[in-house]
Amino acid sequence: MFKNEDLRSPELYLRAFLPLLIFFLTARLAAQYETTTLSQCPLGEELLRNYHFEDALYQFKECLDANPEDIYLISKMAYCQVKSGRLAGARDSYKKILACDPADVSALNQLGSLYIRSMDYARAQESYARLIAIDSLNAYYFKKYAEVSLKRSDLVSAVLFYSRGLELDPNDLEIIMALLPIYLELKLFDEAGALLSQGKCLDSNSVRLCAYAARLAYVKKDYNGVVREVGHCFSLGADSSSSLRKMLGIALFFTSDYGRSLNVFQSMIRSGTESEMVHYYMGMNYRELGELQKAARHFEKAIELAVSGNISNYYTYLGICYEEMGDYLSSIKMYKEAYRISEDKILLYHLARNYDAYYGDKKTALLYYQTYLKSNDTANRDIMDYSGKRISELKEVIHFSIDTLE
């Protein structure tokens, strides 16, 4: 403790009270800064806190008239412009901030976002490139640059920048979700599988990841895997969307579970998602179950709804149904229509067989067998060999029928 006589010494007095004096001066300066910076437009701040963006914008503009270069006020005004839909004005405000400080990351981020909303992807990409130049270890900037690249259909850049972002932040599930459909589209199935494993470690109950796992199994023709993954999706509470049900129905067909496959497609029709694909697979299921008339009706419906390039397949299977029912005249009509559309060589063989079975006069059948043989369908060597043999037999039959007439 100081004695009373010590306090009469100026040097000792300063030593005793200087720390306290500095504390009070610092607190006063901080309060002054807060008053001039955060509360220089108190009405605007209050309106902003209560989501009255248009009124807050007016107040900030009024305050800005007195301080036209105040970045804090410009940023508040820009925020209100964004929230009240004045996007062009917001862009101008953020550009004004960047004119004062080209490295203002907040303004660059907001400007990039605004350019995306206005579909000006080139300028958005430029904004995120500037951010990467400022901070090349920020995963978020790489992710945003990749998002814009994807919008510009630049898959190579999207993959490169997403991948770099994931290197910087391996726990970013958004990047994993963004990369998965790209890998599936590019048929990079091993990479997609590795990403799925990484994602499931982060969130094992993600419905979206489960749906991607089902899709990966589907494109790899792992139909048992599709059934398993779609079932898992539903157990997690996924909506029974048409895409999941479609994959499930097709997978059940290819695993020979025709009854369950039919149930899936029937539920799709009941829910209003009728399509040519649904009726095609219903026809295929009914045919496998031996219900040929029902199968034929669904192939006919598939033809009626057809907008894809698969219509020749529908005619072909309709022809097969008629042939299996012994209605060769109808099957011939269907095969002819299928061949007119697709010019698939094998249809010439089907026409030859049906003419052979239906007509006593074998000349037309012989003609179709010969035409098929000339098509050189090397993918079906056994059928070509049979056709060659049948041509010899029919020539002999026709020869003897001529002799008999003579």
What integer pLDDT is reported at residue 25 of this predicted model? 42
CA separation for the pair 39, 193 (Å, rounded): 54
Structure tokens at 6: 């010590």
Read off the amino acid at residue 391: I
DSSP three-state, residue 185: helix
| pLDDT of 355 | 94
Nearest to 113, CA basis, from 143, 136, 72: 143
Q: Over its length of 406 residues, how does the chain's per-residue pLDDT go in tens digits?
A: 445 554 455 455 445 554 554 454 444 434 443 443 445 799 999 999 999 999 999 999 999 988 888 999 999 999 999 999 999 999 999 999 999 999 999 999 999 999 999 999 999 999 999 999 999 999 999 999 999 999 999 999 999 999 999 999 999 999 999 999 999 999 999 999 999 999 999 999 999 999 999 999 999 999 999 999 999 999 998 887 789 999 999 999 999 999 999 999 999 999 998 999 999 999 999 999 999 999 999 999 999 999 999 999 999 999 999 999 999 999 999 999 999 999 999 999 999 999 999 888 899 999 999 999 999 999 999 999 999 999 999 988 776 555 444 4
Q: CB neighbours of 253 closer than 8 A, spacing ≥ 6?
A: 261, 281, 284, 285, 288
The fold adopted by the segment(s) 274-344 is 1.25.40
What is the pLDDT at residue 7?
46
Neighbours of 225 (CB within 10 A): 16
Quick one: pLDDT at residue 167?
98
- Confidence at residue 36, expressed as pLDDT on a 0 to 100 scale: 39
What is the full DSSP assignment across 31-91?
A: HHHHHHHTSSSHHHHHHHHTT-HHHHHHHHHHHHHHSTT-HHHHHHHHHHHHHTT-HHHHH
Which long-range contacts link 177-180 to residues 24+ away (Cβ below 8 Å)? Answer: 177/208, 177/209, 177/212, 178/143, 178/146, 178/147, 178/150, 180/209, 180/212
Separation of alpha carbons 37 and 43, rounded Å: 13
What is the DSSP code string of 88-132? HHHHHHHHHHHHH-TT-HHHHHHHHHHHHHTT-HHHHHHHHHHHH
3-state secondary structure 270-314: HCCCCCHHHHHHHHHHHHHCCCHHHHHHHHHHHHHHCCCCCHHHH
In the chain, residues under CATH classification 1.25.40.10 are 274-344
How large is the angle between the packed helices 328-342 and 311-324, nearest 10 degrees? 160
Category of 85 on φ-ψ map: left (φ > 0), alpha (ψ -120 to 50) or beta: left
Compute the CA torsion angle 270, 271, 272, 277 (nearest 10 deg).
-80
Angle between the N-to-C axes of helices 381-405 and 363-374, in degrees from 0 to 180, rounded to the nearest 10: 150
Residue that has been written with the tokens 């932040």 in this structure:
169
Tell me the residue type at 83: K
Q: Quick one: pLDDT at residue 1?
A: 47
Query: What is the pLDDT, as a whole number, of residue 11?
Result: 55
